[in-house]
Chain A
Amino acid sequence: MVVEKLFKDEATEEKGERARMASFVGAMAIADLVKTTLGPKGMDKILQSTGRGHSVTVTNDGATILKSLHIDNPAAKVLIDISKVQDDEVGDGTTSVVVLAGELLREAEKLVGSKIHPMTIISGYRMAADCARRALLDRVKDNKDDAEKFRSDLMRIAMTTLSSKILSQDKEHFAKLAVDAVMRLKGSTNLESIQIIKKAGGSLKDSFLDEGFILDKKIGLGQPKRIENANILVANTAMDTDKVKIYGARVRVDSMAKVAQIEGAEKEKMREKVQKIIGHGINCFVNRQLIYNFPEELFADAGILAIEHADFNGIERLALVTGGEIASTFDNPESVKLGHCKLIEEIMIDEDKLIHFSGVEMGQACTIVLRGASFHVLDEAERSLHDALCVLSQTVNDSRVLLGGGWPEMVMAKAVDELARKTPGKKSHAIEAFSRALIAIPTTIADNAGLDSAELVAQLRAEHHKEDSNAGIDVITGSVGDMSELGISEAFKVKQAVLLSATEASEMILRVDEIITCAPRRREDRM
C-alpha cells in the first residue's frame, strides 16, 4: 500500500543513489567553480550583488566568492561552510580546501560506481589523511630559533600567498609590509591592531606601512594642527548633551526664565566636565562619541586638540598604541592613565586629511595605507593582504614551514601511494583515490597557468621518487623547479587545515544516503 502523504506539501525526499548523486554533483560544481582561481595564474571572478546598486566585486579569494553565492544544494553548502571556517581559522587556502574536497568526492563517485561501499571509502580516506599528515610532519622545517631565517621564511610565505592575488606585481613590497606588520604584533594573533586604510588614487606601489597610527578623522576647527609630545586622553563619553540617567527624570518649568536657567546649568555642567578633562593635563582629547560645538569651542580655547566620533575600533587601537586607557569618568585625574606620543599632525594623502600619531609608546599596532586605482582594486588588495596577514600571524605561533608550488601535495601523494600498496582489502582503492585527488591540485595549478599539466605532473612525480626532492611546479618558467631555491613556501598550519577539513567534509557528504528537504518557509504576503 502506498502511503499517500508522509511529508508536508513541497517537502521532498531523495534516497540512495539519487541522493548521493545530488550531493556529488553539487559539491563538484562548487569545486569546479572556484577551481580556475587556484594558483599564481588563477583567474578572478566578477560577483554582482542582487541588492541595490548591483555593486560589483572582483576577487579570486575562494571564501569571498563562495560567501556571495546563493546555493540550494545541501552538499554545496557544506563545502561553502568549510571554506568559511578555513578563512576564520587560518585565513588562506580557502580555494584549495574546496578544490581538494571536490576532487575527493569526484574520486569517491568513481569508487561508488564500481560498487565499493561509502563506509569503506571513508575508512580508506581516513587512513590516507592520517598518513598524509604524518608525511608532511616528517618534512616540515622549523626555523623558530633562528630569527634571521625565520624572517626570510615569513617573507617567502607572504610572497607565495600574495603571488596568487592581485598584488602579485608588487608582491615583494607587500610581503615586506605584511611581515613588518605581523612582526610588530609579537606573537599575538589579534589582527585588529593592524589597521588597513584604503585611499583611492595613486598606484598599488605607493602603499606604505606606517609605524604610528593613522586616524581617518578631522581635527576640530580652530584647534592646533600639530602637537609635539602629546598627552592623549582616550575617552568614551557623551559630549553632546549629557543626559541625566536617573529614570523618569524630566524638566518641568513654568516660565521661560527657568528654561534659560536650566539651560545655563546644563552648559555649566558641560563646562565643568570639559574643565575636568582639561585638568588631566592633556593636549589631545579623542572621543568615541560626538563632540558638540560648545565643548569643541572650549577645547579650542584651551589649545587642546579634540577629535570626535572616532569609531570603536579606532578608539581601542588608539588606546593600545598610545598606552592610555579608555576613560568615561573624569573625577580622578591622577588614576587615569594617559596615552603619549611624540607627534600628532595632520597629514594629507592626496586630498584627504588624516590625523597621524607618530612616535607612540607601544609599537604593537600599525597602519597600512593602501593606494590603488579604483575601489575594486583596493577591496581586492585588502582581502589579499588580509590573507597574507592571517597566514603570517598563524605562522608566528606555529613556525613550521613547508615548500609550496604543489610540493606538499606530491609528498603526501607519494606517502599515500605507498600506504595503498601495503594495505590489503578494498580500502586500498580508496587510499589510491586519495592520492589521485591530491595530485589534482598541482594539476589544476599547471592547467590554470596554461601549461601542459599531464607532462609536468608526470615529471614532478618522477622527481619526487628520489629521496628528499624539493621539486615543485615553477609556473613562471613553466617547468619543474627546486622550490627551496625559488623561495616558495607555505605554512604547515594552512596545509594541515586544508587536508583535515577537506577530508572531514567529503566524509560527511559520503555518509549521506538520504536528503530530506523541507518546504521552504513561505514569505508572508502583506499585500
Chain B
Amino acid sequence: MALAFDEYGRPFIILREQESKSRLRGLDAQKANIAAGVAVSRILRTSLGPKGMDKMLQSPDGDITITNDGATILEQMDVDNQIGKLMVELSRSQDYEIGDGTTGVVVMAGALLEQAEKLLERGIHPIRVAEGFEISSRIAVDHLEQIAHKFDFSATNIEPLVQTCMTTLSSKIVNRCKRSLAEIAVKGVMAVADLERKDVNLDLIKVEGKVGGKLEDTELIHGIIVDKDMSHPQMPKQILDAKIAILTCPFEPPKPKTKHKVDIDTVEKFQTLRKQEQKYFDDMVQKCKDVGATLVICQWGFDDEANHLLMNRNLPAVRWVGGVELELIAIATGGRIVPRFQELTPEKLGKAGLVREKAFGTTKDRMLYIEHCANSKAVTIFIRGGNKMMIEETKRSIHDALCVARNLIHNNSIVYGGGAAEISCSIAVEAAADKYPGVEQYAIRAFADALDSVPMALAENSGLQPIETLSAVKAQQIKDNNHCCGIDCNDTGTNDMREENVFETLIGKQQQILLATQVVKMILKIDDVISPSDY
C-alpha cells in the first residue's frame, strides 16, 4: 500500500491496493511486458515473406478473414493485453504511414524485445538498453540511406515501379498473377499521380470487388464504377458522350427546414396544392433537361412519378449514389455537385465518353461503368475472384501495392529486399558498436542481432536452414562488399536481390526500424503495470 504523509504528519493513502487489483512492478513488469510483445510478434512471424503462411481469423459474428497482412491480423485478433495492444497500434501506424511492411515491423519489434530481455537479465538498466537501441536505430537508418539506390522511372517507363510492387505482392495469396496486378496498381497510381509535385492522392483510386470470375479478370478502369443501376428498368443501358448532372437534392417537393404546416381547408386550396405539386416535378425534370444533361446522378431517391417523368423525357437517372462515390464521379467527370435545381448550369455538368450498365453472372447484379471521363484522374480497380475472402484479401494486397507505388513516387530510393537491407544494416551496426564505450555497446550489439531476425524468419518460412543460410549470406555480404545479397526465398539459385528484382522502398524500411525502436523503448520504460480488477 502506497502511503504518504501530509504536513501534519497524518498518513493518507495514494493508491489503494485492493485484493482484486493486480499490480506488477520492477523487473517483473518489464518481463511480463516483453513476453506479451514477443507473443504477438511470434504469431506474425510465420506470415513473413513470399512463403509466409496465412492466418484464419473468425470474428465475433462468425465471419471469416484469411490474410497474411500484419495490420489486418492484429486488428481483428481481439487482443486484450495492454502491450499486445501497443503492438497492434505499431502495425497500424506503419499501415497508415507506409501501407506496407506491417508484418515486418512487428517481427522487428519482437526481436528487439527478445534481445532486450537478455540484457535485462544481465542487470543492464532498461533505460540504457533503450538508449543503445536509439543510437543503433540512427546508425541503421543512416546506413540505409547510403546503400539506397535511386532509380529512374517516368510516365512511360514504369517497369521499375512494377518490379517493386511485385515484391510486395509476392508474399500474398494473389502472387499467382502478381505481374498483372502490379501493373494494374502502378498504372492506377500513375494515372492519378502528380509527377511535378511528387504527390499521389490515393483517394482517387477506388478499389471495387465483385465475387465471381477469376483473379485474372481483375481490371483497371479509367473511370468510375458504381454498384447501382438505372432507376427505371427501361432506361437506356448505354449512353455515349454523357453530360452528367450530379445532384444532392431529391426529386421531391422541397422540405423547408423550419417547421411549418400547410393547412387545407377549402377545395380550391386542395386543387392548387395539387397543381403546385405537379409543377414541382415538371420543373425539376425540365431544369435538368434545359441545361442539356443526358444523365442524372442523384444522391437521394425519387418518387415514382419523378421516375416516370425522367423516363418519359428520355433522361436516364441513377438514384441512391453514396456521397463518396458522388464526389469521385464529380472529380472524374469534371462536374460540380449541385445542391439545388435552381443552380444547375451547363458548366456544372460532368462529361463522360461512355456510361454503360453491365450485368454479371446469373443473378441480377448490375454495375454502372462511367468511362472516358473528362478528367482522367480518377480510376477504379475492379477485382474479381472466386470467393468473398479472396476478394477481401486481394483488396488488401492491392492497397499495399498502391501504397508502395505512391511511396516510390514520393521518394524514388529503394533498398534491396529479401532481408538484404537488414543484413547490411546489421553488419554496419555491429561494426559501429565497438566505437561506443559504456554499457550501450551491448545494447547496440543486441540491436544488430535483432536485425538478423528478419532474414532469419524469411529463411525459416521458406524451409531453408535459418542459421546456415543467414551466416552464408552475411559472410558473402562482407566478403564481396555487396549489400544486395539476401535470402533466396523462391529457390531460384541466386541470392543477389538485384538480379532477382526484389526491391523495397527506402522510406518503408526506415520507418520500420524507427517505429519498432520507438515502441520497444516505450515498453522498456514501463516498470509498473496496474490493471483494474475485473468486474
Which residues of A are interface residues toward B (Cβ below 8 A)? 1-9, 11, 13, 19, 23, 72, 74-75, 77-78, 81-82, 85, 87-91, 117-120, 126, 189-192, 236-238, 244-254, 258, 261-262, 264-266, 269, 316, 319-320, 325-329, 331-332, 335-336, 390, 393-394, 500-501, 504-505, 507-508, 511-521
Please judge, given known A-B contacts A328-B305, A508-B390, whether A520 and B66 are in contact too, CB under 8 Å: no
Q: How many A-B residue pairs have CB under 8 A?
A: 239
Q: Which residue of A lies closest to B235 (CB)?
A: A325
Q: Is the CB of A521 within 8 A of B54?
A: no
Q: Is the CB of A78 within 8 A of B31?
A: no
Residues 53-84 of B at the A interface (beta carbon under 8 Å): 53-62, 64, 66, 68, 73, 76-81, 84
Please judge, given known A-B contacts A6-B36, A237-B305, A514-B43, whether A519 and B78 are in contact too, CB under 8 Å: yes
Q: Which residue of A lies closest to B263 (CB)?
A: A252
In whole Å, how far is A12's beta carbon from the nearest beta carbon of chain B? 9
Number of B residues contacting the other chain (C-beta, 8 Å)? Answer: 84
Contacts of B273 in A (CB 8 A): 244, 246, 249
Contacts of A319 in B (CB 8 A): 233-234
SS class, residues of chain A in contact with chain B: mixed
Residues 378-392 of B at the A interface (beta carbon under 8 Å): 385-390
Q: Is the CB of A244 within 8 A of B266?
A: no
Distance, CA A237 to CA B277, complexed state (A): 15
Which residues of B are interface residues toward A (Cβ below 8 A)? 31-32, 35-36, 39-40, 43, 46, 51, 53-62, 64, 66, 68, 73, 76-81, 84, 173, 176, 211-215, 232-234, 252-256, 259-267, 270-271, 273-274, 276-278, 280-281, 303-305, 307-309, 311-312, 359, 361-365, 385-390, 463
Please judge, given known A-B contacts A336-B312, A518-B59, A519-B60, whether A6 and B79 are in contact too, CB under 8 Å: yes
Q: Which residue of B lies closest to A425 (CB)?
A: B491
Distance, CA A100 to CA B455, complexed state (A): 37
Name the contact of B276 in the complex, choosing from A126, A246, A326 (C-beta under 8 A): A246
Distance, CA A518 to CA B260, complexed state (A): 51
Q: Is the CB of B53 within 8 A of A89?
A: no
Please judge, given known A-B contacts A250-B264, A319-B234, whether A245 and B253 are in contact too, CB under 8 Å: yes
Contacts of A89 in B (CB 8 A): 211-213, 361-362
Contacts of A518 in B (CB 8 A): 57-60, 76-78
Distance, CA A190 to CA B362, complexed state (A): 7
Distance, CA A4 to CA B463, complexed state (A): 31
Q: Is the CB of A2 within 8 A of B35?
A: yes
Q: Which residue of A lies closest to B50 (CB)?
A: A119
Distance, CA A392 to CA B96, complexed state (A): 48
Distance, CA A237 to CA B77, complexed state (A): 51
Q: Is the CB of B56 within 8 A of A19?
A: yes
Contacts of B278 in A (CB 8 A): 331
Please judge, given known A-B contacts A77-B64, A244-B277, A508-B66, whether A7 and B305 are in contact too, CB under 8 Å: no
In whole Å, how far is A131's beta carbon from the nearest beta carbon of chain B? 14
In whole Å, how far is A33's beta carbon from the nearest beta carbon of chain B? 18
In whole Å, how far is B117's beta carbon from the nearest beta carbon of chain A? 9
Distance, CA A518 to CA B233, complexed state (A): 44
Distance, CA A1 to CA B114, complexed state (A): 12
Q: Is the CB of A514 within 8 A of B56?
A: yes
A1, A11, A91, A252 pick with most chain B CB within 10 angstroms: A1
Distance, CA A486 to CA B69, complexed state (A): 51
Distance, CA A117 to CA B79, complexed state (A): 29
Q: Is the CB of A508 within 8 A of B54?
A: yes
In whole Å, how far is B26's beta carbon from the nearest beta carbon of chain A? 14
Q: Which residue of A lies closest to B233 (CB)?
A: A316
In whole Å, how far is A258's beta carbon from the nearest beta carbon of chain B? 6
Contacts of B389 in A (CB 8 A): 78, 81, 508
Q: Is the CB of B362 within 8 A of A393?
A: yes
Q: Is the CB of A88 within 8 A of B212?
A: yes
Contacts of A245 in B (CB 8 A): 252-253, 277, 303
- 5 tightest Cβ-Cβ pairs between the two chains A and B: A328-B308, A513-B53, A521-B60, A511-B54, A501-B386
- Pairs A–B under 8 Å by Cβ, sample size 29: A1-B31, A1-B35, A4-B32, A5-B81, A23-B56, A72-B62, A74-B56, A78-B64, A85-B386, A87-B362, A88-B212, A89-B212, A244-B264, A244-B274, A245-B303, A247-B255, A250-B264, A252-B263, A252-B264, A264-B267, A325-B311, A326-B232, A326-B308, A512-B53, A513-B46, A514-B53, A515-B58, A516-B73, A517-B57
